[in-house]
A and B are shown apart, each in its own frame.
Chain A
Amino acid sequence: MKIHDPKTLLARRSMMIGAGNLVLSAGAIALLGKNSRVLAQNAPVPADVAILNVAVGLEYEGINAYAIALKSGLLMAPGTRAARKFQDDHKRHNEVLIATIRKLGGEPVTAKTEAEYAKALRVDRLKNQTDVLEFAAGLELGATNAYLGVIPAFKDPELAKVAGRLAADEATHWALLNFDLGRPFAPALNFGA
């Protein structure tokens, strides 16, 4: 089983994405963009905040799932590098989501304990690297579809765009895990249907 090296991926992505990538130091305003209706009106939209908070919960789960995988001793070196990279992505997602919720006047949800995530995700069934990669691929596929699925629900189109960007990251994770698992390429229009 070949594990994709995230360094190569990052170099490629940097070239492709360039200056369009997220700038965390600029926080929520950079994420939302100057065309955000919410920021323009300076009034929170409760439904949007609720959806963002579900996303925060989802990202916390991803962060903890990778933490558990990294501690499991089941991943070989390339898999460990990939898990760290993907976990970092989820952390970056949450930094931006939380900043956005606060900018909108909402209160972000907090993380559960790692033990609670371990129990809810039933990680005791993971026995080898393939189990871990399949588990991670399932979470990433679910997250991709979740972000695509909430796009029509956002009142602020800029937030819908953010959900699309998050979905792209999750789909990238899924595609790499899928490749490393030796599964066939996904058909066109595989996500969000």
Chain B
Amino acid sequence: MRWLLVTGLMYLASVAAQADGDAKRGEMLFASRCAACHSLDANRVGPALAGVVGRRAGTAPDYAYSDAVRAASVSWSEAAIDAWLSNPENLIPGQKMGYSVPDAQDRADVISFLKSQHDRQ
């Protein structure tokens, strides 16, 4: 039942994620909203995010993930990241990120920026 819900959420998220992302704006959003906890190439309060697009959840080296994220069968496709940023707890119950990005365009921009940083990891 939960998988049905997750799949449905990811489908809805993928529809929302079809908006074109602006990587430049995404970089500014990343700096002002995400960078309190995340860097691209170092684990901080949150895991390093360079190369996150396409990575399996819970696999950034040396980061202390919650049990929920470590056990999740989620691969960080653009749709999955969109669903995560929309509501992390809905996607992976028991995770520890309380922050969300409600606006679909903001999420698309941040994802676009993360994609552009794929080669840094």
Q: Do A and B bind each other?
A: yes
Instruction: Note all chain A residues with C-beta closer than 8 A to B32.
Output: 141-142, 145
Does A68 belong to the interface (CB within 8 Å)? no
Q: Which of B45, B94, B98, B99 contacts A61 (CB 8 A)?
A: B45
Instruction: Note all chain B residues with C-beta closer than 8 A to A145.
Output: 32-33, 36
| Chain B interface SS verdict (over half) | loop
1/0 contact string of B57-70 vs chain A (CB within 8 Å): 00000000010000
B98 engages A58 (CB within 8 Å): no
Additional pairs, 14, CB under 8 Å, beyond known A57-B37, A152-B100:
A51-B96, A58-B36, A58-B37, A138-B31, A139-B36, A141-B32, A142-B32, A142-B34, A142-B35, A143-B36, A145-B33, A146-B37, A149-B99, A153-B99
Instruction: Note all chain B residues with C-beta closer than 8 A to A153.
Output: 89, 98-100
Instruction: Note all chain A residues with C-beta closer than 8 A to B34.
Output: 142
CB nearest neighbor in B for A53? B96
A153 to B102, CA, bound (A): 12
B44 engages A51 (CB within 8 Å): no
Instruction: Note all chain B residues with C-beta closer than 8 A to A154.
Output: 98
Number of interface residues of B (CB under 8 A): 22
A143 to B37, CA, bound (A): 8
Does B75 belong to the interface (CB within 8 Å)? no
Do A47 and B89 form a contact, CB below 8 Å, given A54-B96, A145-B33?
Answer: yes
Q: Which 4 A-B pairs have the closest CB atoms?
A: A142-B36, A153-B98, A51-B98, A150-B98
Kindly name the residue among B36, B37, B46, B66 whose own CB sees the greatest number of chain A CB atoms within 10 A: B36
A143 to B66, CA, bound (A): 21
B26 to chain A, nearest CB (A): 15
A142 engages B33 (CB within 8 Å): yes
1/0 contact string of B21-51 vs chain A (CB within 8 Å): 0000000000111111101001111100000
A137 to B33, CA, bound (A): 13
